[in-house]
Amino acid sequence: MLFGYARVSTADQNPVHQIDALLRAGVAEDNVHLDHASGAKASRPELDIVLRMLRSGDTLKVTRLDRLSRSVLHLVTLGAELRMRGVGLHVIEQGIDTDTMEGRAMFGMLSVLAELQRELIVANTNDGLASAHARGRVGGRRPKLTADQATLAQQLYDDRTKTVQQIADLFGVPRSTVYGHLDRENTLLRQPKKIVIMKS
């Protein structure tokens, strides 16, 4: 079965072009899902819905990669997840189809770029922390993460490669600062439940 996903960043943007392209690509109107969300916004309810509906043998169609993903790393992670589930991804305007050898090669290249992007952010962050420490800069305002650091923190958390404490240690900030920059809805769902021991 074919599913389509479209996204517009603001209420002023018109999604008609995307929807028409998806319909021309064979997606039934009932299977077109539309989100109104910025590229940086993690919460996309319609994308979450369509991802839950996809089954092995289905194909997800979008007009462009930037309509689907908020970052290269998120795109690669999503592409790998779809492939593992046996779901195809077709990017209409950019001619990417993961059912073809060329399409899979494109995702391979994106994966390398995503890893490089993450390593550069980590390296720059560590350099900045080392420089500040060398100058003896301590105290001051409550520490906050830069936009790149916040993006990396979310990616590390979503990928489950590091705990919140490990991310906090990486950036030299309290856990509360990391929690303040994470997508709150998904973060709360991921927090371990407290175990209450009843005394007899």
Q: What amino acid positions are annotated as catalytic residues?
A: 9
Beta carbons of 65 and 20 less than 8 angstroms apart: no
Give the span between the Cα atoms of 22 and 40, in whole angstroms: 23
62 phi, psi to nearest 5 deg: -135, 160
Crossing angle for the helix pair 164-171 and 147-158, nearest 10 degrees?
150
Which candidate, 10, 14, 12, 19, places its Cα nearest to that of 92? 19
Structure token digits, residue 80: 């790998």
